[in-house]
Amino acid sequence: MHFFAGGSYLQETKKGLEGIVALDTSISFIDGMQGILKYRGIDIEHLAEMSYETISYLLINGILPGEQELAAYSNRLKSERRINGEMIDIMRVCNYGTEALDSLRTAISCTAHMDHENDNNSLDANKNKAVRLIAKLPTMIAALYRCKSGDFPFQPDETLSHGANFLYMLRGEAPSAIEAEAIEKDFILSAEHELNPSTFALRIAASTLADVYSAIITGLCTLKGPLHGGARRGVMEMLDEVAVPENANNYVLYKLSRKEKIMGFGHRVYRTYDPRSRIFKDMAKRVAKENGDPTWYEVAESLEHVMYREFLDVRGRPIYPNVDFYSAVIYKYLRIPPELATSVFAIGRVSGWTAHCFEQYADNRVIRPRAHYI
């Protein structure tokens, strides 16, 4: 159905813009029926075996790096990991709440103030800003955590990978090999997902030609909500609440009877298992085994079984875990505090966000849909 308003015919409203195609992209591809996800034409299963730096380069530059390009990109990221004393002072002050993302938002805003290229919107300057953001986000989040506990932040360790260095800065000791693999995979699998809410919000900001930092902060603020990236924290809290696999059935039935959402389930696009969840589930099982206490993994598996059964019985179609579900189980085993979970998601996503910024700037028209006046 079409209706007439303000001199032109408009299409019927689609609540939540479900199924609306808003733009062309070459950054990622999703087949929600078959459970396929590709970044720049490469299957996620293949990408999950690479390093985060490789994936970050791929997303931003459109092609996989050769050996020399990767070495140069990796060196640049490592040399930009440090944050200065002024930033740490800010983190000591702007650190009141129980959600690290609120402070991260301020920290990124301050980085923009300190970046001499902030107002330079050339591609070269924007790529420099992307490198700074990608490199500094883990340092900022670890520093926020340390400052909150009244401790001094640990300096980044340039000998460690992007993921291992983050865990090192949280704890002051290098992670085990499997922990380093798990966090690296988390960053890769979280890096990009087409027009998810935060990326769409960011592209709207970029389409007004707002600078990269402003667009990233727009994305970050949108990631916060519990129906999007905030669900990861929700899952961590749910695992604590359910505590043992035997409680999963009653927990789900109680929540569903009250029409409450179960965090970490459902997706707007996937009608089958999210391919990232499959990889996360396998990784979570391995981390649980290494840890020696499989309880959180078993609680998660029970929740998955009960949700599948309930949705199939009551609605005639199952529901599957999304990207936030088994990643949260991994965070529990990695001892990442729940208040950091959404910010840790952003560490991975910032490469995808910056890639979308560049794609928007390169072929821009301001994004401005219409509303149906009632």
Residue that the structure tokens 């990442």 belong to: 336
- Determine the Cα–Cα distance for residues 161 and 141; give it in Å rounded to an integer: 16
Contact 108, 133 (CB under 8 A): yes
DSSP 8-state class, residue 36: E
- Determine the Cα–Cα distance for residues 223 and 230; give it in Å rounded to an integer: 7
- Determine the Cα–Cα distance for residues 252 and 261; give it in Å rounded to an integer: 9
Least separation in angstroms between residue 322's CB and ligand ACO is 4
Helix (H) / strand (E) containing 92? helix 85-93
Report the DSSP beta bridge partners of residue 10: 3
Closer to ligand ACO by CB, 145 or 326: give it: 326
The residues assigned a catalytic role are 267, 324
Tell me if 138 contacts ligand ACO by CB under 6 A: no
Closest CA to 196 of 231, 223, 162: 223
Contact 236, 328 (CB under 8 A): yes
Least separation in angstroms between residue 55's CB and ligand ACO is 17
Q: Which stretch binds ligand ACO (CB under 6 A): 76-84, 111-119, 212-220, 321-329?
A: 321-329
Stretch 181-200 residues interacting with ligand ACO (CB under 6 A):
196
* Helix/strand/coil percentages in the chain, nearest 5: 60, 5, 35
Residue that the structure tokens 């928007």 belong to: 360
For residue 265, the partner it binds in ligand ACO, ligand OAA, none, with Cβ less than 5 to 8 A by kind, is ligand ACO
Closest CA to 168 of 178, 151, 182, 154: 154
Tell me if 263 contacts ligand ACO by CB under 6 A: yes
- Determine the Cα–Cα distance for residues 348 and 45; give it in Å rounded to an integer: 16
Residue type, 330: I
Least separation in angstroms between residue 268's CB and ligand OAA is 5
For residue 113, the partner it binds in ligand ACO, ligand OAA, none, with Cβ less than 5 to 8 A by kind, is none
What secondary structure does DSSP assign to 300-314, as a single string?
HHHHHHHHHHHHHHH
Tell me if 171 contacts ligand ACO by CB under 6 A: no
Tell me if 266 contacts ligand ACO by CB under 6 A: yes
For residue 39, the partner it binds in ligand ACO, ligand OAA, none, with Cβ less than 5 to 8 A by kind, is none
In the complex, which residues of this chain contact ligand OAA (CB under 6 A)?
193, 196, 268-269, 322-323
Contact pattern for ligand ACO over residues 332 through 371, marking x by CB under 6 A: ----------------------------------------
Tell me if 227 contacts ligand ACO by CB under 6 A: yes
Tell me if 321 contacts ligand ACO by CB under 6 A: no
For residue 74, the partner it binds in ligand ACO, ligand OAA, none, with Cβ less than 5 to 8 A by kind, is none
Least separation in angstroms between residue 256's CB and ligand ACO is 6
Tell me if 268 contacts ligand ACO by CB under 6 A: yes
- Determine the Cα–Cα distance for residues 359 and 55; give it in Å rounded to an integer: 17
Tell me if 201 contacts ligand ACO by CB under 6 A: no
Binding residues for ligand ACO, rule: CB under 6 A, are 16, 196, 227-229, 231, 261-268, 322-324
